Amino acid sequence: MYQLNDPRNDTNRLIPSVYHEVAQVGSGLMYRITSIENFVKLTSFRSLPRPVKPVSITLFVNDPFMMQQNGGYKLTFIDDSWNVVRIEVSEKEANVVLSISDLSSWWMGCVSLTQFVHYGRTSVNDYSASDLDKWFKPHTKPICLTSF
């Protein structure tokens, strides 16, 4: 077992009357896409730049909680709109392989696909991560004004 000789952090904030702060805890929101098809249908990524020509991208999504979401998706941009359909595709054949948590973070604008590639969490085939970020990653993160 490991023990610390001095568990205080370096803020030197005292809690009245004689206690030292040892940690800070924060809570945040975690976004999770529960239906990829509905998400694409409802948002169609309207506020983001569009490809200049028709595009077809295959995703392979791993979802440990909703097994029906596991598998391949084909995102197609045509007629100024994104459409999605389920397809049979292996992880090796897909343009992008992501967990549902990483996909949710990307599509909600919290983390870029470029960062996921840099972190080694995914690889991108046949497209540049920066183009995919331009088409799918919002420029601002969501803001929650709900008090808890």
Residues 9-37 have pLDDT tens digits of 667 776 776 776 767 776 677 789 999 99
The rounded distance, in Å, linking the Cα atoms of 46 and 50 is 8
Indicate the burial class of 137 (C-beta count within 10 angstroms; 0-12, 13-18, 19 or more): buried
Could you tell me the CATH number of the domain that includes residue 81? 3.30.1050.10
Residue 144: per-residue pLDDT: 76
First to last CA, the chain: 36
Query: What type of residue sits at position 13?
Result: R
* Residue 85 falls inside a structural domain: yes
The rounded distance, in Å, linking the Cα atoms of 69 and 23 is 38
Q: Which two tokens stand for residue 34?
A: 């529960």
* Residue 12 falls inside a structural domain: no
Please name the helix (run of DSSP H) or strand (run of DSSP E) that holds residue 131, with its range, or none.
Answer: helix 129-136
- Residue 26, classed as helix, strand or coil, is coil
- Write out pLDDT tens, residues 94-133: 999 999 999 999 999 999 999 999 999 998 999 999 999 9
* Residue 100 falls inside a structural domain: yes
For 128, the domain range is 36-136
The count of structural domains within the chain is 1
* Residue 49 falls inside a structural domain: yes
